[in-house]
Structure 1
Amino acid sequence: MWSWSGAMSTTATHPHGFAATPSALHTLQGATMGTRWSVKLVAAATALPGLERGIQACLDQVVEQMSTWRDDSDISRYNRAEAGSTHTLPAEFAQVLDAALALAADTDGAYDPTVGPLTDAWGFGPIGARAQAPDDDALSRARRRVDWRRLAYDPAQRRLSQPGGACLDLSSIAKGYGIDRVADWLLAQGIADCLVEVGGELRGHGRKPDGSAWRVAVEQPGGSDEEAAAVITLDGLSIATSGDYRRYFDAGQRRYSHTLDPHSGAPIDNTVASVTVLHPHCMHADALATALTVLGAHAGMAYANRRRLAALFVLREGDGLVTRTTPGFVARQRCA
């Protein structure tokens, strides 16, 4: 999660108080993916209606293709398709699946886009919330359906076969992709200065009218609004965080996080409270934050260092929290 660092003006002004240019800092907002989107951008006021429509159209397309919460989406149609059927994916869907499968292979399945049956079994999917853990039989049935290697996929033709019972869940990557779609679309419209946010993940370009940077503070799990794990400047950079404190349910003496380990079939049970990843593309930052959270403190940090990722881990140690950062993250933090 993020928060603003520093005050923000709402217009570019001349020293005498009147508008210096036809462009000013504006905020556009809307709803998507079960949350809210917000875009801060420098543009002429006359351009705002068209920009708002374009932003919403970018995000609506992602929902129409990849939302498991919509029965008529492309991903929902695939998930309920008969075994042996083959599906030609839209180009955007295929791009996200390509990235998801590449990360699944690179993390030996710690990240797995076929985790949908487990998402439903634990009550974090469209079927509905749970107040207790699933029984062993239900969990065993779900686990048998989870394995990215079951997918027969031809990326050149964008053709994906349904092996039977496969249930894709791209919620840990599609939101980041939606942010990339919006940011790339705005840049193509000549909007060079913007900060795009959907549900706490962000991508920034350029500067505010006063020349100051887009600076965001990384939330400290369980901390107050004044506490931050880090402050980062976003210019051609995205930030995404995965944490065990965001969505969960309590049953008995245990807290069950929405971040699931595809290997165990259960919510993560490690010392990681949150992982924040910086990357030029929010799609990759989003998915990598989840993957590193599942891998855990030791394996996750080792993976992040091997891949030279900019990552910040917040770890539970005794009754407190400690932070661990990769060299790439430290370098970015120094630029903030």
Structure 2
Amino acid sequence: MNKSMNVFVIIALVMLSGCFPSNDLEKKQVHLTGITMGTVAYNIKYIEQPIDGGTPIPSDVVVHQNVERILKQLNQDMSNWIPDSELSKFNSHDSLSPVKISEGLRRVIAESIRLGHLSEGKLDVTIGPLINLWGFGPEARPEKAPTQEEIAQAQARTGIDNLMLEGNMLTKRIPNLYVDLSTIAKGYAVDLVAEYLDSISAHNYLVEIGGELRAKGFKHTGELWSVAIEKPVSTERAVHQIIIPKDNAIATSGDYRKYFEENGQRYSHIIDPDTGKPINHKLVSVTVIHPSSMTADGLSTAMMLMGPEKAYAFAEEHKIAAYLISKSENGFIEQFTVEFMPYLK
């Protein structure tokens, strides 16, 4: 579905009226905040009381400590910025022999490979050399855009088919393959925290890490959790569309926040594995709703790489709840699939 619109509302996260399944609407809501993955902020809100008088939820201090422990372990498993992380060690070794990996890393790699094949290679977690080449990885940004020869050399070290997973054994097909999970790891972090909250009977929550979210149930006043899709501009923070994700995750990918400019040319942090260069098309934002934040995160990135026409066709074909914003001479054009309609305000 397509329509053109001009947007101007200001807000980033809102709560809309709903109906809490209890006569006791005012319940204590805990709000935990912190930093993970070096510079990524997180916000976690949950209702302290368990549903139907179940097992008491641990104190907010204990919950916060456990969340920190979960996120710290995730960083140690799959950060490219920590030299001795599990993923960094895998990237640094040049053996073609299988390597046993942790369950967390296995889950993320498995979904990365699945989505890579589903998107016909657009989501490719092996494009780390290209990300580094363009200055969006752990290495410093180059003084100028790389040459075509440098891009070709980096592309030779990539390819999702060069990464093979069997059980918990991970294998490189080329010795200098480099895996970067930044397109999906934040979503997985959200899922881990949500799974932890479910395990302690905190079934009403909103988990947000670096802009990726997952919601369940209601807030303490009996209102539904709702979120806003941001207007895709770099000059301000404003709302484009308010949605109600219900018991789902929501992930948005866009090219309007992280980029650099050189000689009047803007270079997005989203690198197309086919060209080896930052994307350059009219699609500026993709939002996906899915039960898994990890999957929503990966799908939104894959679709950003496709461009507006292919991304919308892909979402329709695979029945993905997706909301696309493209730029035009007359403002923004939005598209959303039938599967996304139930979540619109």
> What TM-score do you get using the length of structure 1 for normalisation?
0.90
What residue in structure 1 maps to residue 183 of structure 2? 172
SS in 1 for 2:84: coil
Distance 1:131 1:278 in 2: 38
Look up the equivalent residue of 2:225 and give its one-letter code: W
What residue in structure 1 maps to residue 36 of structure 2? 32
Distance 1:278 1:46 in 2: 30
Q: Tell me if the contact between 1:83 and 1:162 (Cα under 8 Å) persists in the aligned partners.
A: no
Cα offset, 1:61, TM superposition: 1.5
Distance 1:194 1:224, change over 3 A: farther
What residue in structure 2 maps to residue 85 of structure 1? 97
**Identity fraction in percent:** 31
Q: Tell me if the contact between 1:310 and 1:329 (Cα under 8 Å) persists in the aligned partners.
A: yes
Distance 2:318 2:184 in 1: 18
Q: Which has the higher contact order (CA 8 A, sep 6+)?
A: 2
Distance 2:237 2:125 in 1: 36
Cα offset, 1:162, TM superposition: 5.6
Distance 1:168 1:224, change over 3 A: closer
Look up the equivalent residue of 1:32 and give its one-letter code: T
Deviation per CA, 1:120-145: give whole Å up to 9, x if none: 00000001223431122221110101
Q: Tell me if the contact between 1:229 and 1:323 (Cα under 8 Å) persists in the aligned partners.
A: no
The number of residues matched between the two structures is 322
Cα offset, 1:59, TM superposition: 1.2
What residue in structure 2 maps to residue 41 of structure 1? 46
SS in 1 for 2:193: helix
Distance 2:337 2:142 in 1: 36
Cα offset, 1:223, TM superposition: 8.0
What residue in structure 2 maps to residue 140 of structure 1? 152
Deviation per CA, 1:149-199: give whole Å up to 9, x if none: 112321x24333362110001101011000000001101001011100001
Task: Output the aligned Cα RMSD.
Answer: 2.2
Distance 1:208 1:284 in 2: 25
Q: Tell me if the contact between 1:90 and 1:158 (Cα under 8 Å) persists in the aligned partners.
A: no
Look up the equivalent residue of 1:29 and give its one-letter code: T
- Pair 1:327-2:332 in alignment: no
Distance 1:316 1:264 in 2: 22
Distance 2:201 2:165 in 1: 36
Q: Tell me if the contact between 1:241 and 1:277 (Cα under 8 Å) persists in the aligned partners.
A: yes
Distance 1:46 1:87, change over 3 A: closer
> Which of 63, 73, 77 is the equivalent residue of 2:75?
63
Alignment of 1:1-336 (within 5 A): 3-6=12-15, 23-33=27-37, 34-43=39-48, 47-154=59-166, 156-161=167-172, 163-222=174-233, 227-318=238-329, 320-333=331-344, 336=345
Distance 2:265 2:237 in 1: 29
Q: Tell me if the contact between 1:240 and 1:278 (Cα under 8 Å) persists in the aligned partners.
A: yes
Look up the equivalent residue of 1:38 and give its one-letter code: N
Unpaired stretches in structure 1, ≥5 consecutive residues = 9-13
SS in 1 for 2:33: strand
Look up the equivalent residue of 2:304 and give its one-letter code: T
SS in 2 for 1:292: helix
Look up the equivalent residue of 1:25 and give its one-letter code: Q
Distance 2:173 2:229 in 1: 39
SS in 2 for 1:323: strand
